[in-house]
Structure formats: C-alpha cells, structure tokens
Amino acid sequence: MPIVMKNDATESQVAAVGAVIRAMGFTPQPMPGIQRTTICVLGNKSRVDSSQIEVMDGVMEVIHVTKPFKLVSREGKEPTVVRVGANAFGGAALPVIAGPCAVEDRARFLEIAEIVKEAGATMLRGGAYKPRTSPYAFQGLGENGLKIMAEAREKTGLPICTEVMDTDTVELVSEYTDVIQIGARNMYNFSLLKRVGKQKKPVLLKRGLSATINEFLMAAEYILSEGNWNVILCERGIRTFEEQTRNTLDLSAIPIIHELSHLPIIVDPSHASGRWDSVIPLARAAVAVGADGLIVEVHQNPKEAFSDGPQSLKPDKFLNLMQDIRLIAKSVGRQV
Amino acid sequence: MPIVMKNDATESQVAAVGAVIRAMGFTPQPMPGIQRTTICVLGNKSRVDSSQIEVMDGVMEVIHVTKPFKLVSREGKEPTVVRVGANAFGGAALPVIAGPCAVEDRARFLEIAEIVKEAGATMLRGGAYKPRTSPYAFQGLGENGLKIMAEAREKTGLPICTEVMDTDTVELVSEYTDVIQIGARNMYNFSLLKRVGKQKKPVLLKRGLSATINEFLMAAEYILSEGNWNVILCERGIRTFEEQTRNTLDLSAIPIIHELSHLPIIVDPSHASGRWDSVIPLARAAVAVGADGLIVEVHQNPKEAFSDGPQSLKPDKFLNLMQDIRLIAKSVGRQV
Amino acid sequence: MPIVMKNDATESQVAAVGAVIRAMGFTPQPMPGIQRTTICVLGNKSRVDSSQIEVMDGVMEVIHVTKPFKLVSREGKEPTVVRVGANAFGGAALPVIAGPCAVEDRARFLEIAEIVKEAGATMLRGGAYKPRTSPYAFQGLGENGLKIMAEAREKTGLPICTEVMDTDTVELVSEYTDVIQIGARNMYNFSLLKRVGKQKKPVLLKRGLSATINEFLMAAEYILSEGNWNVILCERGIRTFEEQTRNTLDLSAIPIIHELSHLPIIVDPSHASGRWDSVIPLARAAVAVGADGLIVEVHQNPKEAFSDGPQSLKPDKFLNLMQDIRLIAKSVGRQV
Amino acid sequence: MPIVMKNDATESQVAAVGAVIRAMGFTPQPMPGIQRTTICVLGNKSRVDSSQIEVMDGVMEVIHVTKPFKLVSREGKEPTVVRVGANAFGGAALPVIAGPCAVEDRARFLEIAEIVKEAGATMLRGGAYKPRTSPYAFQGLGENGLKIMAEAREKTGLPICTEVMDTDTVELVSEYTDVIQIGARNMYNFSLLKRVGKQKKPVLLKRGLSATINEFLMAAEYILSEGNWNVILCERGIRTFEEQTRNTLDLSAIPIIHELSHLPIIVDPSHASGRWDSVIPLARAAVAVGADGLIVEVHQNPKEAFSDGPQSLKPDKFLNLMQDIRLIAKSVGRQV
C-alpha cells in the first residue's frame, strides 16, 4: 500500500503518516523521490483500511495493491466446479438453463419444460417472485409458482433455478429450488447475500446493473464468507448510454473473471439485450469467449408472456440456438 | 400508444395488431402514411401492457406516451410537504440533516449531535446498519446504534434519520427513528420498498447508483402504492466513467423531478463526490438549483472514522457550509 | 411523426400545431384520446425537422419514427461487400487486419508484416499519424511511416490500412494507403468525414468512444453522402464505468448494425479491452457473433512498443488467435 | 512510479524489471513485502513511459503518481485570468456569453445581439460552422456567418466567440473572432488543438461528450504546449444512461478542475440539459459551485430556430437568468 505524498508535503506530515502506520502495527518506509515522497507499508498481511490515512494533511493518494477479495480470489486455488444434478458449472460440458421469465400457469410451464428439455436444456428457469420496475406489473405467483416448478422437475428430471427477492422467503424458496438466484437488482442487497450464504443450495448470482467486476466479486465474497462456496456468477449486461439494447453485454468480463476468481461464470443473453433477435448471436459469442454455461428465456408464445416477451425465444429459435452453440462449444474444446 | 408498423408490413399484419388491440378492449385506429402505417389505440385510460404487441410480425415499435407513474406524478397535484418535527421538506425553510456516516460510539455520537445542532442542522443522520461493499468492513452497531441515536434525539431535540437494510428489521428501525432511509443500493429492493410503504414513518429514498429518473420515481411509487405518501427523494450521484469523483452528482434531476412529481427532493453532496473538498461547493449548487434540503456527513475527526472518512466534513467546515447555504437560500427565496 | 399533446392542451394549441404542420406542406391529423390528443403528420416522405414543433405550447413530445439515416440504411438494399485487393469485407471469407499500433522503424515493420502474413493476416495495419492523449507521447513517423507501409505492401502483397487525423493530410494518406482509417476520436469530426467521402479509397470508420449506434451510422452517412459508399464499420468498445478494461466491447452492436445497415462491420478486440490477455477470447466471440472481420494489434516485442504495448499480441499468440478463429468461423458458416 | 510485482514473481523477474529501469537511466529500488515486492523508481523528473514495463513477466501493475499534465497543472502557479475586451475569465466579475446556437440571418442576429447586451451579456456567441449529427441538417452560413458576427461586434461593442471545426478554417475564423471555440466533438481532434495553439486568439475548449477530467486537461495541455496559454475550459455535460436530459451536467468538475489546474472554467447549461426549462436552475447552480462564467443559448423565437430550439431561452427568460445569477454571484463573493 504505497502512500503518495503531495510534492509540497512537509517532513512533519511525512512523519505523521509514519506514526499512524506504526500505530496500526506496521512499518512505514519513506521513499523520497525528486518530486515527492512515497511511503511504503511493510508488514501487512492483508488489505489495510486506509481511510484514516487518506484524509491526512500532505497525502495525495493511497494506492491499494492487494486485491480486496480473498475467498473468491483465484490466487492459490483451482477453478471451482458447482454441481447441480447432472450439471457441472465450470466443467467441460456447458449447462444450459432455459424457460420462461415467469411461471404464469401450471399447464403452460409443464409444457415449456418438456419442450426445452427436448431441445437440450439441462436445467429449468422460471420466476415465482418477480422484481418489477412498476408495482402495478405482474409480481409472480409466489409459492404456487414454486410448486409448479417442483412438479416440472419431477416430470422432466431437470433441476430448477428460481429467484429469491428478500430474506423473508429464503427458507421457503430454498426448500423448493435446486439453485437460488439473486437477481441483478439485489446484487448489493447485502442482507440477502448473507442469508443465502447461510443456506446450503447453490446460488446463481447476477451482476448488478452498474456493478464493476470488483463489486460483483465482492458480492460473491459475502456469500462465501458465510460458508456457501457453491456460487455461480452470471454476466447479464451493464447499463450504458446505448439505447438500442436494454443493457450492454460485457463479454470481456468472462476472461477477466476467470483470471481473478475460481468461480464459474455463465451468461444471460436474454436480459442483456432485451431483444430476442440478438439472443442467438450473443449466445454463440458467450460460448466462444469461454462462458461456463447459459441461461436463456424461452416461451411458447412470447406475444402472450406476462413479462419480458420481447426478449423470449420461441421454441424453434431455441432449437436453433442449441444447434449453434453445440458447434461453437466444440470449437473451444467444450460440449453442450 | 401509437404502434408503428415496419414499412413492409402487410395488410394482414396490420389487421392482426388491430385484433389484439380489440381483444384488450380498446379501439385500433390505423393511420396509413407514405412510408409506413401507424396504429393508434383509442379508449385506454391508463398505460396498456404492450409486450404482446411488441413481438408481433410487422411491428417496428410501440410508443408509450402515458407516464408510467401515477401516484407520484405531479399532474393534478400540489407539491407535497413532508413534516418531521420542526422540519418541513418541500417548504420554504430547508432542512439540513447532518451527522457521521456511521454511529461508532455513544460519546462521540452525542458530541457530534450537539455540534451539528449548534451549527444549524435540523435533523441527525447516522448509520446503525451499514451496507458495505466488503463483508470484512465495519457493518454498524445494529440496535445499539439505534439506541444511541434515540438518546441523541432526546438530548438535542432533533429528529433522527437512519437506514434500514432488509425487511426483517423494518419494524425495529421504525420504532426508533423519525425518518427511515432506503439507501441507493436498495432502491431496486422492491420487497423492502413495499414494507416501508406499510409502516407510518416518513421515508427518505435515495436514487440508485445507476437508476434513471423514471426508475427512481417508480421506486417511490412502490412506497406510495402501499399507503405511505410521506416520501422524501434524495439525489446522491450516479455512476459514470469519471474517476475523480466517486459518483457524478446529477443536479439537473432536481428541476426535472419537481416538474414530474409532487414529492420533495433533497441532495447528498457527501456521497455524490466522495471528497470532502467538493462538499461545500456542491451544497451551494444544490440549494441554488432548487433542492428541498441537504443531507451531509460530518465527523469530529474524519481521520478516525470507521467509514467514509474522506468525504466527511470537520465541524468547522460544516459551519462554513451552513453560512454559505444561508446566503444562497436567500438568493433563491428560501431560508436555512 | 406523431406529436403528443399535454393532457391539458387547449384546442387552440392543437390548432396551432396543425397550422405549423400545414405550413410545412404536410397534413395534420389529430387523434383525440381520453387522456390527451396525438397529432399525426401525413404526407412527409422523409424525416421532418420537428424542432419548431417541440417548443410549442401544449406539446408534450414529438415522436420520430422514420430512421434518421437514409443511405446507410438496410431498408431496400443488399449487404454491401467492400473489396480491397483479395479482401472482401461483408463476404464469406473474413479479412484479418494485423500489425503494430504504430510504425516505429522500417526493419521492424517489414519483419512484422512478413510474420503476420505468414500467420494468415490478409491486410496490414500500422499508424503513421497517432492520436495520443498526451502531446508529449510519440506522435508517429508521418509520411515516412506511410512510405514504410507502402514498402511492406510491395514485399508482402498485402494491402495496407492506416489512420488519417485531419483534412490537411487526407490526400497524402490516400495516395499511399489502400484503406483510410478514421479513428474513434475523430468519429464526430464531420469535416474529416466529408473529406474522406470525397476521395476514392475505402474508409474504415471506428465507433466513437461514447457514440450510440445511431450516431455511428450517421457518421457513416456523412461519408456516403459525399459519394464514397465503400465504408467498413468497426466496433472497438465504448466507455463505461468498468475499470478492468479500457473500454467495454459492445458485441451486441454487430447483429443490430447488420439489421439496420447494409455496411460490413468488423471488430477491434485490441483497443476494446486494452489487455492482450483478453484479445483472443474476444476475437473468438466477435467471429461467433457475426463480425465481418477483425483488426488486431501484433508486435514482435510488446515490451518495447512505443504505444499500446499492453494490448499487443506477440507473434505466437497471434498464431493461436488465427487457429482459434478458423474453427469458430467454420461453425458460423464462414472462413478465415 | 511504484511497480507492483505479482505475488509469485521470481527473483529473476524482479531483476529484469530493475534492469529495464536502469536502462532508462533511473534507479530501481525493490521493496520486498510479505505478499509481494514493489519496485520504486528513483531519479525520474517527469512521467516515465511505463508501457515496456507493464508487459514484463511477473509485473502486476505499474502505478503512476506524477500527474500527466504539466503546463495546465495548478502546482506552483497562480490562477490564470483570460482577458477578452472587458471580460476577465477567472476574475471576480463573471462573463456571460449569450446568443443563438447558429447565425441564421443578419437582421435576426443583429437584433438578438442587442437584446442580450441589453440584458447584461458581456460577449456574443453564434455558430457559423455547425457540427451536426446529420449531414442533412443545417451546417451553418460559413464565412458569411462570421461577417455578420463581426458586424454585431461593431454595433454592440461586445466581443464574439464562435466555433472552428477543422484545421483548414482556423486562420479564417481567427481573423474574425475574439475567442475561438473548440466544440465537444472536437476535444480529441489533436491536429485542431495544435493548430489553435499556434494562433494568438484565446480558445474556449469544451469538454468532450465522454471525456474524463484528466483527458479534458490533457486536451488543454495540447494547446498550451504550442504556446497559447489563453485557454478557457467549458463544462457542458457528459454522456450517461439518463434519458431525461441530453447530457448530465457535471458540476463537481468545477471545484476539482480549480484544484488541478490554473485555467478558468465556465459552464454551458444549455447544451448540458438540452431543455430550456432546466437552463436557469443549472445556471444558478453553476455560479454557486464556483464557475468562472456562463455560455447560454438565447433566441428570439426558439420555435423557428434552425437548430437547438428546445434548449434556447427566450429573451425574457434570459433576463430572469441574469437577475437570478446576479444574486447568486453576490452570495459567493463575485459579480455579474
């Protein structure tokens, strides 16, 4: 943690910073330069809380070199494989999670579950609790939705994944689902992160709408720090000025997260673009860039979907997607 | 809600859209143009859910003209004044909420409470539950922090404002505080918004890190829709590419929100910039642009603050701030 | 162009808007709704300049439905193939443009030219005029650089591509190069766009650092409107809040631009991420998403590069890239 | 310039970095820590080009502590006052530049010039060369526009300010105008920056649409480095995801630029918001935050403006603006 002093910092200011470092139990090592003095901190084994130093007189900048995350860090660890039934996130075979945005109706969900299974999906998605911008929009079927999903699991044999929106319902959702999803809007909901960290089911954590990669990994750190290491990250687009797509899918996050963390990361091309006609090309790109899986919205009849119709694939398009990504996966040494 | 058809849309596609509109109970009115046909929807009294139509063949775009928010809308309403003790948010006298980022210690909090009161603050702030990016950072004193704040209220006579982070603690926090704060990271936490909408205390709602003004107002709509109309909005900076400040304070949001909504809106210059040396000029600008109040971080000794030291004002600087904004307030026909 | 009136607009305000529309030579068609009146404009064959109407009393919003670009629009046109020697941008075979950021030295450039040709590159890149953030950074060899590039073309048989920075040097650069590049920082330099539209060489137009897709296409429209239809678009990342990469590569722009425009679009993974270790995965993703080619920075010894060393591939890594994208291209029905 | 090595960097990698530093003429000083080694560079008097080092094996990060700008830096300099006729940018009296977006017509411009002078403007603005997103939009009257502006100067006695778009016309524009403006879209047009740095007239440099403060100051550095120190900076909004305003005015840039640089900085509230109804409150805020002046669009009849009508003030509103900012200026110890 080098501390850079202003070029007019006085000797007593340098000394004062040194005293604070010593009070923290470390050793200051001033490095006088021609323009300014830099003070290195020796003896720290982990990140030092520098806020005290940042505001001292004469200090220009405190530079952090130790990464802020520990448990999610790749340093000294093998890539994690999160297993859910026959799915292995982080393995050679890419899981594909598919289904409608929301569970709307028992018959329709059971039908789409069979359809996506037929097409090659390896896990089912569906929302029972829906975070909606408007309080007047469809908010999900709640526990009834969970029951329908559980029934679909029995019929298809595929595990299920669904979102939890608050600490109150973690236990309930956890009873039904195989994977608990934390949506983008809750990535900074630290109480919820801690709670899902305390239960046993694997967690699918979506990147926040404007979260940096560092913050995304720190959100995962919250879950791991409570004891649950089965976290699957999910890139789903970030907010930019571009108006043609709902979000801008940040595929460069995939290789970078693979370098920084041992956790697997999958891609959601449906929420990223908000346009069904971009979903297939983005799914191909996601597999090509090295994603560990996909989560895709599919609906029998997007025109009648209660939510997210414009970004849902029809079943025949989902078949096309599966065919496309099988070829791409092979090109990068993986399988679908 | 005009529906714009593609320029190669067939007559049967236009007819199909018309049929859907009729099925919704409205009347379609096709307007053939030279390049393309636009279909207007007649008879709707509120926003129509257009997702079915957006995905129909031949449809280029559906255009929404009715604003999505109802209860928070300015249309047909007088500006709301939220009263908290002697404070009137939305009135001519500007409330100034001041205090440290977090309640760290009883004696220190009681002391700073007296200091900011002396300087002219009209409400106390302080965090008992702290949303922190890192699970290893100080997370707040919890209920003990609330007790200390309540004691400060008794001693100073100033009402208090503190953040709630999850649905589990809404009741507890609500018992102690005068104003419940929803932090920026929880602006999309719809379960929490509904819960604070059900209790009686006024709510201070901060704009999300990358929330549009529309989404911000829709978050307020969640609270109002549960019956609590005492909502104070708070602009606290949005996330951009600029690196010199933590966030970019969006002061143009103030006059726009005043035009769109009847709710009062205050400004938090401390979190916006993340730099104490920007707080005073931004506070002046906030009052000049028409803000209905301020919330400012003040700490006896920012070097020793557990969090947000770099953006906290020392007491003497806070005095300067109060002097400055008194003059500005007068220039815009208000008082501090 | 529907014009949406405020819900309290008076009849005389509606009439006034109608009068302006008539004065423009079109026919107004008011559509009274329950909440508000919408006025449609009939008879316009192209985009109407609505700024007069936007400021009229009672007008809430003017909605534009005709796309602002004409010549670059896909409507009614086949995809354009831009041919440069043996390269066909927009064809089944994907051109790969490779070389160092800047031409630094004759011998070194001739050597890297042979190396990238050997590895499969089909065109050479290199900067003779360099746009640098700092006036103290290396600004390029100027005409000497162009001469070296021309020599490399003779030796390798590969066409060359280089950037022009101002109207003064368009003619000179145009004499030497096969493709003239407009850099991201000059995408809004309308004088330069017009000038390169008047000369005959194909133009490689990079997307501006924060340009929307619409603005990007309008910049191309400037070039086409001067008579030069041989424009190759290039996505190179946009500016966001993310700090791990220099820019965020927007791969969803590729399918969207293919839908909106007939022009070919290639991808620059080197400038997008600014990190050599992201270049190969992003190149794979670019081909998978449907890009019409790539432009990649390669340097014998990135440690000694005068500029952009951190994002340059070493020759052996470039070989890996070519092998990878050959497989991906095949999976999407194209060849490298 | 501390160089942080990876925590598994070998001794020979540390030695190799040291050798490169020595080859540059400086002295390496390794600082072994518990987790990793940091190497400090001693003996450099200015910023070192670190790109060679960044790509070396074992290097995690190179940290730059010397600010990249020299001539524009505040360090060791008094604030600059740029004088243009009776205007002093950076002085106690705030210049207000006013006029229409574009010079459209001789009579109309002469009229508005008198109107804004009457209201208190101290300089005239008007575009003769207009950078427009569409090639089909009004591009300005060219030299005729300059002549009309010069005539207005004679009649009113107010100096004039107008934009130059390319190197070809710098000399011509410089002959007519008192201040040469570089528009936001040309902030990265380094050839143009150098050219205006070589002529004698003061330069008004607008911040680029997505330029960081650092890049903005480096653009000014280009002008100063050619010998022209009379540069007036102008904040005019940056591009964000917010859709209610054209740009987000970044008022926190004002105090930060005052801290980093000796150059004066003014604010353009008209282009920032793109909405006339936000211009007055933002102008007040700009003066309150410490801006050194304003540039505002005023038009007799915004409904008929060839460009930017929606953001232009009518003369009576401009009068209101002047009254408002007079009061605010007084509150911050300045005058209008």
The CATH number that applies at residue B57 is 3.30.70.1140
A315 — pLDDT class (breaks 50, 70, 90): very high
Shortest distance between the Cα of D34 and any Cα of chain A, in A, equals: 6
- How distant is the Cα of B34 from the closest Cα of chain C, in angstroms? 6
| Nearest CA-CA distance, residue C281 and chain A, Å | 5
Burial, C325: exposed, middle or buried (Cβ in 10 Å; 0-12, 13-18, 19+)? buried
**Contact at 8 Å (CB) between D283 and D268?**
no
Question: With contact defined as beta carbons under 8 Å apart, do A3 and A51 qualify?
Answer: no
Q: Chain D closest CA to C238's CA: distance in Å?
A: 10
C39 and C88 inside one domain: no
Residue A3: which of A25, A36, A34 has the closest Cα? A36
D22 and D127 housed in the same domain? no
Q: Which of D29, D239, D241 faces A31 most closely, judged by CB atoms?
A: D29
Give how far B237 is from chain D: nearest CA, Å. 10
**Structure-token pair, residue B71:** 């209860």
D244 and B214 in contact by Cβ < 8 A? yes
Query: Same domain, yes or no, for C47 and C138?
Result: no
Same domain, B196 and B293: yes
Cβ <8 Å between C51 and D308? yes
Mean pLDDT of all residues in chain C? 91
Label the pairing between strands A179-182 and A265-267.
unpaired
Query: Tens digits of per-residue pLDDT, D67-118?
Result: 678 899 988 889 999 999 999 999 999 999 999 999 999 999 999 999 999 9
pLDDT score, position B47: 54
Are D55 and C309 within 8 A, CB to CB? yes
Range of the domain at C310: 82-331
- How far, in Å, are A47, D37, D119 from residue B303 at the CA level? 18, 28, 49
- Closest Cα in chain D, distance from residue B217 (Å): 13
- Alpha-carbon gap, residue B26 to B39, rounded angstroms: 12
Mean pLDDT to the nearest integer, C108-122: 97
CA distance A71 to A236: 23
Q: What is the chain B residue with the closest CA to D210? A: B241
Q: Is B231 in a helix, a strand, or coil?
A: strand
Split at pLDDT 50, 70, 90, the class of C192 is very high
What is the band of A83 on the pLDDT scale with cuts at 50, 70, 90? Answer: very high
Note whether residue B174 is domain-resident: yes
Interface test with C, best of D48, D134, D217, D221 (most C CBs within 10 A): D134
Question: With 80 as the cut, is the pLDDT of residue A182 above it?
Answer: yes
Residues with Cβ within 8 Å of residue C201, at least 6 apart in sequence: C174, C177, C178, C179, C180, C230
Q: How far apart are CA B9 and CA B12, in angstroms?
A: 8
Of B45, B61, B241, the CB nearest to C34: B45
Mutate to test the interface with D, among A5, A8, A42, A241 (most CBs of D within 10 A): A241
Over range C145-157, report the average pLDDT.
98
How many angstroms separate the Cα of D247 from the Cα of each of A241, D220, D278? 10, 22, 12
Whether A140 is covered by a domain: the verdict is: yes
Q: Quote the DSSP letter at residue D207.
A: P
Shortest Cα–Cα distance, D160 to chain C (Å)? 23
Helix ranges (DSSP H) in A120-206: 143-156, 170-176, 190-198
In whole angstroms, what separates CA B104 from the centre of its chain? Answer: 25
Best of B44, B45, B136, B172 to mutate (most A CBs within 10 Å, chain A): B136
Q: Are strands A160-163 and A179-182 parallel, antiparallel or unpaired?
A: parallel
Separation between Cα atoms, residue A336 and residue A330, nearest integer Å: 8
Contact between C153 and C124 under an 8 Å Cβ cutoff? The reply is: yes
Q: What is the pLDDT of residue D133?
A: 86
Are A265 and A216 part of one and the same domain? yes
Strand order of the β-sheet with A27-32 is A27-32, A37-42, A3-5, A59-62
Nearest CA in chain D to B270: D252
- Mean pLDDT computed over A119-142: 92
Cα(D116)–Cα(D316) distance, integer angstroms: 10
Q: Is the pLDDT of residue A105 over 70?
A: yes
Residues of A in contact with B189 (CB under 8 A): 165-166, 185-186, 189
Helices (H) and strands (E) in chain D, counts: 11, 14
Clarify whether residues D56 and D100 are in a common domain.
Answer: no
Same-domain pairing of A142 and A286 = yes
Cβ distance of B255 and D278 shorter than 8 Å: yes
- End position of a domain, from candidates C14, C33, C62: C62
Looking at the domain assignment, is residue A232 inside a domain? Answer: yes
D214 chain-B contacts, CB cut-off 8 A: 243-244
Q: What is the pLDDT of residue C319?
A: 97
Q: What is the mean pLDDT of chain B?
A: 91
pLDDT at C44 over 70: no
Q: D74 lies in a domain?
A: no
Residue C88 belongs to a domain with what CATH number? 3.20.20.70
Nearest to C304 among D52, D136, D239 (CB): D52
Shortest distance between the Cα of B105 and any Cα of chain D, in A, equals 32
The residue whose two tokens read 């207009």 is D130
Does residue A77 form part of some domain? Answer: no
**Radius of gyration of chain B, Cα coordinates, nearest whole angstrom:** 23
Give the chain A residue whose CA is nearest to the CA of C243. Answer: A212
| A255 pLDDT more than 70 | yes
How many separate helices (H) and strands (E) can be counted in chain B?
11, 14
Q: Of the candidates B33, B62, B91, which is a domain's last residue?
A: B62
Question: C-chain residues within 8 Å CB-CB of D221?
Answer: 134-135
Q: What is the DSSP letter of D240?
A: -
Closest CA of chain A from D1, distance in Å: 9
Q: Which chains touch D (3 or more CB pairs under 8 A)?
A: A, B, C
pLDDT at D318: 97
Distance of residue B239 Cα from the nearest chain C Cα, in angstroms: 7
Residues of C in contact with B40 (CB under 8 A): 2, 31, 33, 38, 40
Residue A67 lies in a domain: no
The DSSP bridge partners found for residue B102 are: B127
Residues C123, C121: Cα–Cα separation, whole Å: 6
Mean predicted confidence (pLDDT) in C302-313: 80
* Residue in C with minimal Cα distance to B246: C241
Nearest residue of chain C to residue A269 (CA atoms): C252
* Mutation for testing the D interface, residue in B243, B248, B251, B322 having most D CBs under 10 Å: B251
Q: Which residue numbers in chain D have pLDDT < 50?
A: none
Residue B280 lies in a domain: yes
Question: What six digits make up the tokens of C220?
Answer: 């191309």
How confident is the model at residue D168, as a pLDDT? 92
Specify whether A170 is located in the same domain as A239: yes
**pLDDT at residue C45 tops 60:** no
pTM of structure: 0.87
SS (H, E, C) A85-133: CCEEECCCECCEEEECCECCCHHHHHHHHHHHHHHCCCEEECECCCCCC
Residue of B nearest to D279 (CA): B252
* C-alpha A69 chain-centroid distance: 15
- Of D61, D75, D210, nearest to A65 by CB-CB distance is D61
Q: Does B140 lie in the same domain as B35?
A: no
Over residues A115-129, the mean pLDDT reads: 97
- pLDDT at A66 > cutoff 60: no
Q: How many domains does chain A have?
A: 2
Residue B13 to residue C237: CA distance in whole angstroms: 38
In eight-state DSSP terms, residue A335 is: B
Q: Which of C52, C104, C129, C277 is the mutation pick for testing D, counting most D CBs within 10 A? A: C52
What is the predicted pLDDT for the residue at D234?
98
What subunits make at least 3 CB pairs under 8 angstroms with B? A, C, D
Q: What are the DSSP calls for C307-335, one per residue?
A: S-GGGPBPHHHHHHHHHHHHHHHHHTT-B
Per DSSP, helices labelled H in D75-208 are 106-119, 143-156, 170-176, 190-198
For range A204-214, the mean pLDDT: 96
Q: In the predicted model, what is the mean pLDDT of chain A?
A: 91
Q: D166 and D225 share a domain?
A: yes
Query: In Å, how far from its chain's centre is CA A147?
Result: 26
| B185 with A185: Cβ contact below 8 A | no
DSSP element (H, E) containing D37? strand D37-42
Nearest CA in chain B to C27: B33
Q: Which of A35-49, C156-170, C200-214 has the lowest average pLDDT? A: A35-49
Q: For D44, which residue in chain A has the nearest alpha carbon?
A: A34
The answer to whether residues C27 and C55 belong to one domain is yes
With respect to residue D325, please indicate whether it lies within any of the assigned structural domains: yes
Q: What percent of chain A has pLDDT over 70?
A: 94
Read off φ and ψ for residue D335, nearest 5 degrees: -135, 160
> DSSP secondary-structure letter at A311?
G
- Do the chains contact at A42 and D31, CB–CB below 8 Å? yes
Q: pLDDT per residue over A141-180, tens digit each?
A: 999 999 999 999 999 999 999 999 999 999 999 999 999 9
pLDDT, tens digit (0-9, with 9 covering 90-100), for A216-239: 999 999 999 999 999 999 999 999
* Alpha-carbon distance A82 to nearest alpha carbon in chain B (angstroms): 22
Q: Which of D185, D194, D310 sits opposite C188 (nearest CB)?
A: D185
Helix (H, G, I), strand (E, B) or coil at A312: coil
Q: A103 and A27, same structural domain? A: no
The sign of the CA dihedral C101, C102, C104, C110 is: positive
Chain D: residues touching A (Cβ < 8 Å): 2, 4, 7, 29, 31, 33-36, 38, 40, 42-45, 60-61, 63, 65-66, 75, 210, 239-241, 243
Residue among A34, A61, A75 minimizing CB distance to D43:
A34
Which residues have C-beta within 8 Å of that of residue B19, sequence separation ≥ 6? none
Residues of chain B short of pLDDT 70, as ranges, are 1, 32-35, 42-49, 64-67
Q: Which residues of C touch D132 (CB under 8 A)?
A: 190
Which of B8, B21, B35 best probes binding to C when mutated, by most C CB atoms within 10 angstroms? B35
Residues of chain C with a CB closer than 8 angstroms to some CB in chain B: 2, 4, 7, 29, 31, 33-36, 38, 40, 42-45, 60-61, 63, 65-66, 75, 210, 239-241, 243
